[in-house]
Amino acid sequence: MSRHVVCRVDELPPGQHRIISVRGRTIGVFNVNGEYHALLNRCPHRAAPLCQGVVTGLITSPAQYQRELTRDGEIVRCPWHGWEFDITDGRSVFNPHRVRTRTYEVFVETAPPGEDEDPDADAAGAQLVQATIGPDDPDPTLETYPVEVEQQFVVLYLGQSKPAARPE
């Protein structure tokens, strides 16, 4: 299990996704209506960069010749051959039981990043929450109060199993 801070929550609003590189693989991290999901950026068909495809919805047919766009924002179409995958579980639409791509756990957590293995993300996180006092700062003898900026981060977990307990 490894833990990777992806970005600040406000950097990944609903409907957006970003593709990050983690431990030699690229992964798409999606914000679908406020819920976060991560897919391996690799179509099981021909290894195309799946997450670079169009994010769309599921077209269903309530009756013959009627088409309805449902679950808008929850489907990604592979940019190569148009195979559709459910962002929430990595399963293909046309054969969900046999054709699917890898998914990962994503959580929203409060800093500090702690055991984060990604030094870049670590540094970025630290920068955001640390304050230093320089020579031009106000007189330190003045009465001051400790201030902590609590910032929420999107955190990705790589590994075989889910985290035992979701960090608060």
Q: What does the binding site for other proteins look like in residue numbers (CB under 8 A)?
A: 45, 59-61, 64-65, 67, 78, 81-84, 92-95
Strand segments (E) across 9-151: 17-22, 25-32, 35-40, 54-60, 68-77, 84-86, 103-110
Between 62 and 146, name the residue whose CB sits nearer to other proteins: 62
Residues in the chain: 168
CB of 77 to other proteins, least distance (A): 8
H or E segment to which residue 122 belongs: helix 119-129
CB of 57 to other proteins, least distance (A): 9
Angle (CA) 155-160-164 rounded to 5° is 65
Between 33 and 60, name the residue whose CB sits nearer to other proteins: 60
Between 55 and 78, name the residue whose CB sits nearer to other proteins: 78
CB of 52 to other proteins, least distance (A): 15
